C-alpha cells in the first residue's frame, strides 16, 4: 500500500526536481536526460493523442521562503519572512515574456489562479502550529489544480510562481516575486502507468530570467553623398511597435538625430594593475554634437515622419558616430526617452539616391544605457574536488542576453566571483552581449554548509556559505559599471565523485540587493490518464441560460485547448510538407549542377547547358520523357548510365518480388 505524504521516509523529502533539464559542463542540454524525462518522452511517442487530456498539479507546502530583497541598510541576508501564496498556469511553449506566458490551457479548478496564502493555512492549523500566527518561511498550501493539456503540445510549460504579500506600509502596490518553477509537460508521466512514482518532490525555486524589452523597430536611410564629399544624408522614415508611454496606451513620439564628432586617432592599450585599460585622447576630449529633430506625431505607436537631414563636413575615417534617439513628448514634465540606436559613420558607403547602399534599413530600438539592468543568465560549473567538501572548483564559462552598456548595443563584460574572503576576476569580453570567459577558479571553503533546519527556516547565509558572481562592464574610461549578480548556496553543489564535474548551472542575474534564493516547494504533477478528457456539457434552463457557470467555463477552456491542438497539428503537417519540398528542390538543384558540369565536359553550347541540365534533372524519375539532345551533341555516358540504372531498378524490383513469390508457391 502507498503511504500518505506525511508518512513517507525522510529520504523521500531529499529528492529534488526530476523534471529539470540537465546541462553539461559546456552549458548545453545534456544528451542523456534523467529517467523520468526519458520515460515521459517514450510515452509521448507511443501514446500521444490530439485530444485534450487532464493534467493535475498538487502543491503541498514550501520551505525556506523569505523576502527577496535585503533591508536598505547592511549587506546581510536577513531572515525576513513573508506571507506567501502561489499561482500556477500552463504557459505556451517557447514564450519567454515576463508575464508568465499565454495561458490558453487555463486551469479548470474552481479556484484557479487564486492566492493560496499562508494566512489561510494558519487558520486551518491554528491549534497545531503556533508559529503560523506570524509570517512563516514554510507555508502550507494543500491545493490541487487541474488543467486541460495535450501531449501534442510538448513545448508547453507549467509555471508555478511564489509571491510574498507586500507590506502594509510599502510604497509599491505589487507583491514581491520570491521565485518560479518551470516544469515542461513533456517530462510528466501518467498516473495510470505501473511504474509511475506518485511521490511528491522538493523543487528549488529560481529567480526569473529577465530579457531585454521589445521597444519596436524603425526605418531609416543613411549614406554619404557620392557627388558631394563629406556630406552625410539621413532620412527618418517611420517606426513600428514602439513603447507606450502615456496613460492612454499611446505615445507622442519624435526622433533626435545626433552626429557626435570626435578627434581622429587610434586606441592605445595602457596596462594598469595587471589589467588592460582601453583609453585614448579623443575619448576624453569634448565631442561636437550636431543635432536634428523630427516633428512630433501625436497619439500613435506607429509614427511616420519621412523627414530628411543633411550633415556637412563629416570625416568618413574618423570615430564620429550617428545616434538616433526616440522620445515621447510630454506637455508637463520632461520628455521620456523610449529607445536609441547608434553606429559609426565609417561603416557607411557613398551612394546616390536609389542605389543599393542608399536603400532603407530597418533596425530595432535599444534601451538607454544610463541605467544598466540585470538581464540574462550566466553559465557556471561548480563542484568539490574532494569528498570532504573543502576544495571547490568553479568554472565561469559564458553568459547570454546580458544588458547592453553602450549606445552601440554591446558591452565589455567581466565577472568577479567571490566565496568568503577569496575572489577572482575574469578578463573583459569586448563588444558582445554573449561573452565567453572559460575562467577556472579554485576556492578553499572552511565554513560548514547550512543545516537542514536553517534551510527550512530560511536562515541567512554567511559569505563563506555561498558563491556570488557579479557582472560588470568595463567602460572606455576604465570604470567598472555594475550590471547584475547571481548567487548560489554551497549546499547545492555536488562532489566530483558524485558527478558534479559533469554538470553546470544557468544562473539568472538579479539586482545587487537580492538575497540568495533558498526557497523550495513540495509538489507533484502528472497526467490523469492517457484517455482523452470528456468535453463538459453545462446544463441549461428552458430559456437556454447556463445553470452551472463553472461547467461553462470548463467547456470554454476545453474548446480553447482543442482549437489550439488542431492549429498545432495543421502547422506541423504544413511544416513537414515544406521541409519535404525543400529537400526535393535541393536534390533537384544538386542533380542539375552535376549534369551541367558533365554537359560542359562534352562541349555543349553554354547557352543550352542550363536549360537542358534542368530538363534532364526533372526527368530523373521518368527517363522515357528525356528530351533528345540538340543537333551535334550527345548525352554523356555517365548521365545515360544513371538514367538506365534508375529505369532498371524500377523494372527489376517488381520482377524480383514476383520471382520470390513463385519460389514460395513451389515450396508450398
Burial 40-65 (b: 16+ CB within 10 A, else e): beebbeeeeeebbbbbbbbbbbbbbb
Q: 42 pLDDT band (50/70/90 cuts)?
A: low
Q: Mean pLDDT lowest for which of 31-45, 134-148, 574-588, 596-610?
A: 31-45
Number of H helices, E strands in the chain: 8, 26
CA distance 406 to 125: 54
Whether the predicted pLDDT of 623 surpasses 50 = yes
Superfamily of domain 381-395+414-513: C2 domain (2.60.40.150)
Bridge partners of 466, per DSSP, are 489
Q: Mean pLDDT lowest for which of 62-66, 166-170, 635-639?
A: 166-170
Whether the predicted pLDDT of 393 surpasses 70 = yes
Average pLDDT on 425-454 reads 90
CA distances from 33 to 28, 36, 41, 501, 550 (A): 12, 8, 10, 16, 39
Whether the predicted pLDDT of 103 surpasses 90 = no
Whether the predicted pLDDT of 205 surpasses 80 = yes
Q: Which carries the bigger pLDDT value, residue 644 or residue 436?
A: 436
Burial of 319 (0-12, 13-18, 19+ CB in 10 A): buried
In 3D, which of 463, 469, 466, 457 has the Cα closest to residue 520?
A: 457
Secondary structure of residue 502 in the 3-state scheme: helix
Q: Which helix (H) or strand (E) holds 581?
A: helix 549-601
Q: 217-364 sits in which CATH class?
A: mainly beta
In terms of phi and psi (left: phi > 0; alpha: psi -120 to 50; beta: otherwise), the region of 407 is alpha
Residue 255 near residue 236 (C-beta atoms within 8 A): yes
Whether the predicted pLDDT of 76 surpasses 80 = no
The string of pLDDT tens digits covering residues 527-547 is: 888 888 888 887 777 776 767
Cell for 401? 542576453
CA distance 553 to 572: 29
Q: Which carries the bigger pLDDT value, residue 171 or residue 235?
A: 235
CA distance 453 to 169: 31
What DSSP state is assigned to residue 191? T
Max distance between CA atoms of the chain, in angstroms, equals: 105
C-alpha angle with apex 255: 251 to 258, nearest 5 degrees? 150
Other CB atoms within 10 A of residue 377 CB = 22
Average pLDDT on 199-224 reads 90
Average pLDDT on 330-334 reads 88
Average pLDDT on 339-351 reads 93
CA distances from 121 to 162, 204, 434 (A): 15, 21, 44
Phi, psi of 318 (to 5 degrees): -85, -175
Whether the predicted pLDDT of 350 surpasses 60 = yes
Range of 123-127, 281-285, 381-385, 616-620 with top mean pLDDT: 381-385
Whether the predicted pLDDT of 100 surpasses 50 = no
Average pLDDT on 20-38 reads 68
CA distance 592 to 574: 27
Whether the predicted pLDDT of 46 surpasses 70 = no
Whether the predicted pLDDT of 251 surpasses 80 = yes
- What is the model's pLDDT at position 546? 66
End-to-end CA gap in the chain:
56
Bridge partners of 392, per DSSP, are 384, 443
Q: 170 pLDDT band (50/70/90 cuts)?
A: low
Say if domain 5-206+521-533 classifies as CATH 2.60.40.150: yes
Percent over 70 (pLDDT), the chain: 75
Domain regions of the chain by residue span: 5-206+521-533, 217-364, 381-395+414-513, 572-667
Average pLDDT on 42-65 reads 75
Question: Would the CATH topology of 217-364 be identical to that of 381-395+414-513?
Answer: yes
CA distance 211 to 367: 12
Other CB atoms within 10 A of residue 506 CB = 19
Q: Which carries the bigger pLDDT value, residue 537 or residue 298?
A: 298
Q: 637-667 and 549-601 helices cross at what angle (nearest 10)?
A: 120
| DSSP letters spanning 64-98 | S---SB--SS-S--------EEEEEEEEPTT---T
CA distance 551 to 538: 5
Whether the predicted pLDDT of 427 surpasses 60 = yes
- What is the model's pLDDT at position 201? 84
CA distance 242 to 251: 8
CA distances from 280 to 262, 269, 321, 476 (A): 11, 8, 16, 9
pTM, full prediction = 0.73
Average pLDDT on 619-636 reads 77
- What is the model's pLDDT at position 134? 54
Amino acid at each position: 500500500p502507498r503511504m500518505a505524504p506525511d508518512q513517507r521516509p525522510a529520504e523521500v523529502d531529499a529528492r529534488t526536481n526530476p523534471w529539470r533539464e540537465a546541462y553539461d559542463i559546456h552549458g548545453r542540454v545534456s544528451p542523456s536526460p534523467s529517467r523520468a524525462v526519458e520515460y515521459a518522452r517514450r510515452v509521448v511517442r507511443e501514446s500521444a493523442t490530439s485530444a485534450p487530456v487532464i493534467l493535475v498539479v498538487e502543491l503541498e507546502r514550501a520551505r525556506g521562503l523569505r523576502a527577496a530583497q535585503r533591508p536598505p541598510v547592511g549587506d546581510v541576508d536577513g531572515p525576513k519572512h513573508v506571507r506567501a501564496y502561489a499561482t500556477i498556469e500552463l504557459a505556451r511553449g517557447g514564450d519567454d515574456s515576463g508575464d508568465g506566458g499565454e495561458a490558453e490551457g487555463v486551469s479548470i479548478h474552481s479556484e484557479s489562479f487564486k492566492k493560496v496564502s499562508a494566512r489561510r493555512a494558519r487558520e486551518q492549523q491554528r491549534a497545531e502550529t503556533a508559529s503560523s500566527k506570524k509570517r512563516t518561511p514554510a507555508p502550507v498550501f494543500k491545493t490541487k489544480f487541474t488543467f486541460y493539456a495535450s501531449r501534442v503540445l510538448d513545448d508547453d510549460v507549467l509555471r508555478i510562481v511564489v509571491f510574498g504579500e507586500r507590506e502594509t506600509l510599502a510604497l509599491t502596490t505589487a507583491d514581491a516575486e520570491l521565485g518560479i518553477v518551470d516544469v515542461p509537460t513533456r517530462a510528466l508521466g501518467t498516473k495510470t502507468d505501473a511504474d509511475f512514482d506518485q511521490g511528491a518532490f522538493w523543487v528549488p525555486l529560481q529567480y526569473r530570467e529577465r530579457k531585454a524589452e521589445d521597444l519596436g523597430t524603425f526605418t531609416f536611410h543613411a549614406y554619404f553623398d557620392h557627388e558631394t564629399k563629406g556630406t552625410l544624408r539621413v532620412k527618418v522614415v517611420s517606426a513600428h511597435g514602439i513603447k507606450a508611454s502615456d496613460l492612454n496606451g499611446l505615445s507622442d513620439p519624435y526622433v533626435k538625430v545626433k552626429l557626435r564628432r570626435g578627434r581622429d586617432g587610434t586606441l592605445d592599450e595602457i596596462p594598469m594593475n595587471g589589467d588592460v585599460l582601453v583609453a585614448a585622447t579623443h575619448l576624453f576630449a569634448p565631442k561636437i554634437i550636431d543635432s536634428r529633430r523630427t516633428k512630433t506625431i501625436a497619439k500613435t505607436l506607429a509614427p511616420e515622419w519621412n523627414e530628411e537631414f543633411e550633415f556637412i563636413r563629416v570625416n568618413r575615417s574618423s570615430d564620429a558616430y550617428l545616434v538616433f534617439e526616440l522620445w515621447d513628448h510630454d506637455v508637463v514634465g520632461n520628455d521620456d526617452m523610449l529607445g536609441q540606436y547608434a553606429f559609426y559613420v565609417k561603416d557607411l558607403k557613398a551612394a546616390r539616391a536609389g542605389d543599393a547602399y542608399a536603400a532603407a534599413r530597418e533596425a530595432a530600438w535599444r534601451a538607454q544605457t544610463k541605467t544598466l539592468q540585470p538581464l540574462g543568465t550566466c553559465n557556471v560549473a561548480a563542484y568539490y574536488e574532494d569528498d570532504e567538501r573543502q576544495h571547490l572548483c568553479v568554472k565561469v564559462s559564458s553568459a547570454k542576453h546580458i544588458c547592453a552598456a553602450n549606445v552601440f548595443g554591446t558591452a565589455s563584460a567581466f565577472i568577479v566571483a567571490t566565496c568568503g574572503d577569496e575572489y577572482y576576476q575574469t578578463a573583459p569580453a569586448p563588444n558582445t552581449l554573449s561573452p565567453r570567459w572559460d575562467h577556472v577558479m579554485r576556492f578553499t571553503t572552511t565554513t560548514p554548509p547550512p543545516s537542514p533546519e536553517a534551510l527550512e527556516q530560511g536562515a541567512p547565509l554567511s559569505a563563506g556559505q555561498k558563491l556570488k558572481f557579479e557582472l560588470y562592464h568595463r567602460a572606455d574610461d576604465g570604470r567598472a559599471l555594475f550590471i547584475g549578480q547571481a548567487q548560489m548556496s554551497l549546499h547545492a553543489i555536488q562532489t566530483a565523485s558524485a558527478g558534479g564535474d559533469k554538470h553546470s548551472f544557468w544562473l539568472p542575474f538579479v539586482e545587487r540587493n537580492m538575497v540568495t534564493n533558498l526557497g523550495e516547494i513540495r509538489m507533484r504533477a502528472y497526467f490523469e490518464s492517457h484517455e482523452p478528457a470528456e468535453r463538459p456539457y453545462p446544463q441549461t434552463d428552458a430559456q437556454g441560460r447556463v445553470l452551472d457557470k463553472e461547467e461553462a467555463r470548463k467547456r470554454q477552456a476545453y474548446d480553447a485547448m482543442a482549437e489550439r491542438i488542431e492549429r498545432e497539428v495543421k502547422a506541423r503537417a504544413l511544416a513537414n510538407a515544406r521541409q519535404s519540398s525543400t529537400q526535393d528542390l535541393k536534390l533537384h538543384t544538386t542533380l542539375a549542377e552535376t549534369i551541367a558540369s558533365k554537359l560542359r565536359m562534352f562541349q555543349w553550347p553554354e547557352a543550352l547547358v542550363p536549360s537542358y541540365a534542368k530538363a534532364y534533372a526533372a526527368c530523373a524519375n521518368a527517363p522515357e520523357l528525356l528530351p533528345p539532345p540538340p543537333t551535334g551533341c550527345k548525352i554523356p555516358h555517365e548521365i545515360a548510365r544513371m538514367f538506365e540504372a534508375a529505369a532498371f531498378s524500377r523494372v527489376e524490383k517488381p520482377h524480383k518480388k514476383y520471382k520470390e513469390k513463385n519460389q514460395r508457391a513451389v515450396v508450398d
